[in-house]
Structure 1
Amino acid sequence: MSLPSTIGPPAESGTGPRFFLMGHLPLYAALLFLLMLFWSGARAWREPVGGGPSPAAAWETAGSLRAGELVVLVLAVMLAAVLLQPLQLPLIRLLEGGRPRLPGAGATRRRQLARKRSWEAAAALPPDGVLAPEQVQRAGAAGHELRRRFPLPDHLVTPTALGNALAAIGDRAGRPYGLDAVAAWPRLYSVLGEQHRALVDDRRDTVDTAARMCAVMALTAPVSAVLLARSGWWLALALVPLALSWISYRGAVQAALAYGESVQVAFDLHRFDLLAALRLAAPAGQADERALNVQLSDLWRQGVPLDPALRYSLNGDAE
């Protein structure tokens, strides 16, 4: 199965709202934070004047910027955003726990497996005995969270919570219908209605923006620490981007869970629209649907030819 990070809307050009939200805003936030530190007098190469950085000096410098200087800063952010755009998918895969593997990935994956076991235990019901309604409800809620947060097979479990939330989408979205979600998604996405496509795009944009903010702030933290290295207790300000990075990562996980729900609903409601677009007649029952979808998934994933006996439907009736 392909990486679950490939389940997403098509990439936009460098002028669309998705690109502005995902590419520009995290960079503007990081640049503003670093410039305010620099303008306040934080320098690693000299002692700060007056015992530490001066916020008043930073605001004074910011207020005195000329139009040309602001244009240069905006163009610099735009250039950086364009150059970093091709790295978005590798960034998501890195935060998923994919390649390149970060140090300690094996230990974190074992912790994720342990968390999955905890959810499985909470979702399990005793084979016998009378259960109270609240016990059944708690087990059902735990089972729901288990399906949202983890893929079913253990070998798909990743070292990170974000990776598992995205892997769960690829594993479960088309499973009830015999569809490989990763292989089917680019085709299903093209037949979604405008309302559902906008919902899917909005939730995936939230995932990507939070992931970019996480990475940018994680890189901003050590740069801030270098600038503040000789500023005494002001060095604690370097924890601000680090905290924002952690918050952004947690936000990306929650956004991925919401995104997974919208993808699941897309398969529930629009899978027959996909068959219609392929000029295939709607199957008569669940068994026929699964058999057909398994054939289509094999074709899209591995290039296995369809059954020659398969008949097309051009006007809603089998030919």
Structure 2
Amino acid sequence: MLAVHFAPSALFVAYAWALGRAGAFSGRARWHDALPGSLVSAVATLLAISACAALLGLLLHPFQVRAVRVLEGYWDRWGPTSRLAEVLAEHQRRRWAVLFDATTREAKDAADPSGKSLREQIREQDAVSRLERDRHLAVRRLSALPPGNVLLPTALGNALRAGELRAGERYGLATLASWPRILPQVSGRLAAALSSARDSLDTAVNLCHAFLGCFLLGVVALYDEPGRWWLLAVFAVAAALAYKGAVTAAQAYTGLMYVVYDLHRFDLAKALGHKLPDAEDEWGLFRRISDGLR
């Protein structure tokens, strides 16, 4: 609660309080008025901001999944954003196609060195090496994305969707249907790692929302003070960094989803009352389980 909800809420509440105390919403801000005049006033201000931040965090807690989905790019249900979602999704599909094309390029052997100088031979060898490195990099990046036909508009959405569509499917299990059932079977240390990765993701998402909220408040309050616009740039950069952190945390969380199915898929089968299959029957069993869960 402290990291995921209270800290982002306190950041937003403190900034809104400072803007209000400085009179930024009704004219040019008087920033010296935002500072407490005494120790008692400072303590009272700190307690008030903490109480409001705690209340805001508790009110927003049930909407955490929606907060993540907003940054994932599930915007097609909203008329004003559906067109933007399609434009960004098309951009993601073009990037995916570029990576896919890069994975199909095979590094060719250097041409016959006879009759060429040593410098030319070295240049050709370097070109072959660079092509091979680029191909391996494209393979790694492509493996962290979902199939091209189900790409979402944002990097965060695609990082999470890759796990949602592949973690269990490798064994015949539908990930979205089986995840709530396999999660209680997870061992203690892996459960702690999953919880930590999820908290990191949620914290980064909430910080991104808080910085975006501060940015919008600043636009409303400081539009007539060009000398303070640098503050808007700070919040915009901070929001971008928080979003990048959310993508990184999502990739770590997705990696742990793969580990859960690697280690605990048979625990799921046992918990659902099925006999453990042999290697030949494993795929068929998990397909039947997935059909039943759907």
What range is the shorter-chain TM-score in?
A: 0.7 to 0.9
Residue 271 of structure 2: aligned partner: 277
Alignment counterpart, residue 74 of structure 1, candidates 50, 53, 77:
50
SS of 1:65's equivalent in the other structure is: helix
Match of 1:202 among 196, 206, 216: 196
**In structure 1, what is the equivalent of residue 93 of structure 2?**
113
The Cα shift of 1:134 comes to: 7.0
Aligned to 1:142: 138
1:132-154 deviation per Cα after TM superposition (whole angstroms, max 9, x unaligned): 67755643442222121x212x3
- Runs of 5+ in structure 2 lacking a partner? 111-127
Deviation of 1:121 after TM superposition, in Å, equals 1.8
1:291 aligns with 2:284: yes
Distance 1:65 1:38 in 2: 16
Kept in 1, the 8 Å contact 2:5–2:203? The answer is: yes
Q: In the alignment, what sits opposite 2:170?
A: 176
Do the aligned residues in 2 keep the contact of 1:169 with 1:264 (CA within 8 Å)?
A: yes
d(CA) in 2 for partners of 1:224 and 1:129? 55
Do the aligned partners of 2:173 and 2:286 also contact (CA within 8 Å) in 1? yes
Instruction: Work out whether 1:93 is the aligned partner of 2:69.
Output: yes
Q: By how many angstroms is 1:129 displaced?
A: 5.6
Q: Which residue of 1 aligns with 2:24?
A: 43
Which runs of no fewer than 5 residues in structure 1 stay unpaired? 1-18, 302-319
SS of structure 1 residue aligned to 2:41: coil
How large is the RMSD of aligned CA atoms in angstroms? 2.5
Note the C-alpha offset of 1:123: 2.0
The offset of 1:299, in angstroms, is 0.7
Alignment of 1:1-319 (within 5 A): 19-39=1-21, 41=22, 43-48=24-29, 53-54=31-32, 58-61=34-37, 64-65=40-41, 67-99=43-75, 100-101=77-78, 102=81, 104-126=84-106, 138-148=134-144, 150-152=145-147, 154-285=148-279, 287-301=280-294
Contact 1:48 1:230 in 2 (8 A): no
Residue identity (%): 27
Do the aligned partners of residues 129 and 233 (structure 1) sit closer, same or farther apart at CA in structure 2, a change above 3 Å counting? closer
**Cα shift readout 1:241-279 (whole Å, capped 9, x = no counterpart):** 222111111111111111111111111111122223233
- How far, CA to CA, are the matches of 1:78 and 1:212 in structure 2? 14
Aligned residues: 273
Partners in 2 of 1:82 and 1:240 — Cα distance? 27
* C-alpha distance in structure 1 between counterparts of 2:250 and 2:171, whole Å: 22
Pair 133,274 (structure 1): closer, same or farther in 2 beyond 3 Å: farther
Checking the alignment, whether the CA contact within 8 Å between 1:42 and 1:228 is kept in structure 2 is no
Q: Residue 291 and residue 45 in structure 1: after superposition, are their counterparts in 2 closer, same or farther (change >3 A)?
A: same
Contact 1:116-1:146 at 8 Å conserved across structures: yes
Distance 1:296 1:42, change over 3 A: same
- The Cα of 1:293 is off from its aligned counterpart by 0.5
Gap change, CA 1:48 and 1:252, over 3 Å in 2: closer
| Aligned mates of 1:220, 1:288 — CA distance in 2 | 55
Q: Distance in 2 between matches of 1:226 and 1:37?
A: 10
Give the AA of the match of 1:34: A
| CA deviation profile, 1:76-127 (whole Å, cap 9, x unmatched) | 112111211222222222211114442511111110001111221222244x
Secondary structure in 2 aligned to 1:104? helix
Q: Which moved more, 1:60-69 or 1:232-241?
A: 60-69
d(CA) in 1 for partners of 2:293 and 2:24?
56
Query: SS at the partner of 2:203?
Result: helix
